[in-house]
A and B are shown apart, each in its own frame.
Chain A
Amino acid sequence: MILKFILNTFILTMLTFSLSAEETGSHEHSEGEKGLTKEEIDEGIDHHLQDAHSFHLMTNEETGAHYGFPLPVILWDDGLHMFMSSAFHHGEDLVKSGDKTFMLFHNKIYSINESEPIFISKKRDTTIINKEGKEEEITVTDTIHSYSYSEFEQNFISHEGHLPEEAFIANAKPIDFSITKNVFLIIVIGLILFLMFFFAARSYKKHGYLPSGLGRFLEPIILFVRDNIAKPNIGEKHYKRYMGFLLTVFFFIWIVNLFGLTPIGVNITNNIAVTSALAVMVYLITTFTAKKNYWLHIFWMPGVPVPMKFILAPIELLGTIIKPFSLLIRLYANITAGHIVIMSILAMMMFLSSWIGSSLSFFLAIVLGILELLVAALQAYIFTMLSALYFGSAVDEGDHH
C-alpha cells in the first residue's frame, strides 16, 4: 500500500517535471531560441566544481538579481586588504582597497591598475639558438591583447564572454587568504563534528556505559573503525595511538562528501589542496612514528641478494611518497568524477529539452545520487583503511616472521 503510494507520487512528480520541461522547451523554440549551449553547460559545470568567494545559489535571469551571501576576502598585496566579496558584485565591479584595485574574474582575483590595461597572454613553445649555438626549446609568453578595464568589462564581464582558448590574464594575482566557500564549510563541518562527538561523549557520562541519542548512532561506526580498520591493519599493540587520526579522517571525509551532495553546491574533497593536506598528514604520521623495522625494509631489504638491496632502496623510498600521493589522487578523482557525471546528466535536461530527455535524466540523476551516497562512505572507508595499512607497516616489528 505504502509502496504503491510512493510509486504513484514518484511517477506523478516525474510527469510534472517532464511536462513543465516540455512546456519551457516548446516555449523557447517558438521564440527561436535554443536551450543552453555546450559552452554554457561546460561553464556551469566548471563553476560548480570550483571554489568561489561567495555562496551563489541562483540568478534570476529576467531581473539579473543574484541570490546568495558573501564571504570575507583577505588578500596580501604589499599590505593586508580585507573586504566582503559582495563589494565585487559578482565580478561586475572593481574594488579599491588602500592604493590597490582588485578585479574578480571567474573566481580568481587579479590586481589591476586602472591606468594600465589588462593583459591577456598565451604560452607558446618555440625553438631558439642558445649561446653555445645549439637549438633549445623554450616556452615564451606572448601578450595577445591588452584591454582597458572598460573594454574588458564590456567584452567579457557584461556579456559573459570567454577568453580565447588557452589564454589567461597575465596581471598579477595577490596572495589570497580569503575565507572561500571551501574554507567556510570546513570550519562549519569542524564545528558540527565537534558538537556531535561532544554530545555523544556527554551521553556516556550521564548513563554510564549505555549510550543514548547521538551516541547510539555513532558508537557502531566508531567500533567499526576500531575493529575492522585499525586493529587488523595496525595490530592490537599500537592501534590506540592512531585511533584519533583515523576516526577524525573517517568522519571528516564522510561528512564533507555528504555535504557535497546537498544543493548548496560545495565540493570540498574535489579541491586537490584539501586532499593533499590530508595525504601530507598521513605521510608525516607514517614517517615520524615509524619503527626501526620500517626503515630497515626501505634501505636494506632483508632476505634479498645484496645487489638487489641497492636497486630496491630508491624504489622503496619513492614508494613512501607515492603511497600518500595515490591516496590524495584517489579521493580527489573519485569525488570530482562523480560530480561531473551527475552534472552532465542533469545538463541533459537542458540540452535535450524534451519530456523523454528530462524524465530520463531526472531518473538517472536520482540513481547516480544514491550511488554517490555509497561512494561518499566508501571513499572515507578506503582512505581510512589505506592510511591504517601504512601506519601498520610503519609500526610492524616483524614478530610474525
Chain B
Amino acid sequence: MEIPVMVGAGLVVIGAGIGIGKIGGSAMEAIARQPEATGKIQTAMLIAAALIEGIGFAALFAVG
C-alpha cells in the first residue's frame, strides 16, 4: 500500500516539475523576444506556476 502511493506521488511531482519548467522556459523566451512586456509575462507565469504547484501539493498530501 505504501510503495505505490509513494511512486505515484513521485510521478506527480515529476509531472509538476516538467510543467513548471516549461512555463519558466517559455516565459524566458517570451521576455527575450519582448522585453517591454516583462511585467505581464511574469504575472501570467506566476499564476500558471502556482496552479500547477497546487496539483503537486495534492501528491504531497496523498503521502502525508
- Which 3 residue pairs are nearest across A and B when measured between Cβ atoms? A333-B57, A326-B54, A382-B50
> How many residue pairs between the two chains, A and B, have CB atoms under 8 Å in the bound complex?
32
Question: How far is B53's CA from A326's CA once the two chains are assembled, in angstroms?
Answer: 10
Interface size class of A (residues with CB under 8 A): 10 to 19
Enumerate 6 A-B pairs (CB-CB under 8 Å) in ascending A order: A326-B51, A330-B53, A381-B46, A382-B46, A382-B47, A382-B50
Whether the pair B43, A228 counts as a contact (CB closer than 8 A) is yes
**Chain B residue nearest in CB terms to A330:** B54
Q: List the B side residues contacting A385 at CB < 8 Å.
A: 43, 46-47
A223 within 8 A of partner (CB): no
Chain B binding surface SS class? helix
Question: How far is B60's CA from A337's CA once the two chains are assembled, in angstroms?
Answer: 9
Whether the pair A329, B47 counts as a contact (CB closer than 8 A) is no
Whether the pair B57, A329 counts as a contact (CB closer than 8 A) is yes
Whether the pair A330, B57 counts as a contact (CB closer than 8 A) is yes
Q: How far is the CB of A168 from chain B (nearest CB, A)?
A: 17
A301 within 8 A of partner (CB): no
B39 within 8 A of partner (CB): yes
- Of A232, A330, A337, A378, which contacts B43 at CB under 8 A? A232
The interface of chain B, by Cβ under 8 A from chain A, is 39-40, 43, 46-47, 50-51, 53-54, 57-58, 60-61
- Of B39, B40, B43, B61, which contacts A333 at CB under 8 A? B61
Question: How far is B53's CA from A382's CA once the two chains are assembled, in angstroms?
Answer: 11
**Chain A residue nearest in CB terms to B51:** A326
Q: Give 12 A-B pairs besides A228-B43, A385-B47 with Cβ atoms closer than 8 angstroms.
A: A228-B39, A326-B51, A329-B54, A329-B58, A330-B53, A330-B54, A333-B61, A334-B57, A382-B46, A382-B50, A385-B46, A389-B47
Q: List the A side residues contacting B46 at CB < 8 Å.
A: 378, 381-382, 385
Question: How far is B43's CA from A70's CA once the two chains are assembled, in angstroms?
Answer: 44
**Chain B residue nearest in CB terms to A333:** B57
Q: List the A side residues contacting B47 at CB < 8 Å.
A: 382, 385-386, 389
Give the contacts of A363-394 with B (CB-CB under 8 A): 378, 381-382, 385-386, 389
Interface centre among B50, B51, B58 (most CB of A within 10 A): B50
Question: How far is B54's CA from A378's CA once the two chains are assembled, in angstroms?
Answer: 14
Question: How far is B50's CA from A385's CA once the two chains are assembled, in angstroms?
Answer: 10
Using A228-B43, A232-B43, A385-B43 as known contacts, say yes or no to A329 and B61 having CB atoms under 8 A apart. Answer: yes
Whether the pair B60, A333 counts as a contact (CB closer than 8 A) is yes
**Chain A residue nearest in CB terms to B50:** A382
**Chain A residue nearest in CB terms to B54:** A326
Question: How far is B47's CA from A232's CA once the two chains are assembled, in angstroms?
Answer: 13
Q: How far is the CB of B16 from chain A (nearest CB, A)?
A: 12
**Chain B residue nearest in CB terms to A325:** B54
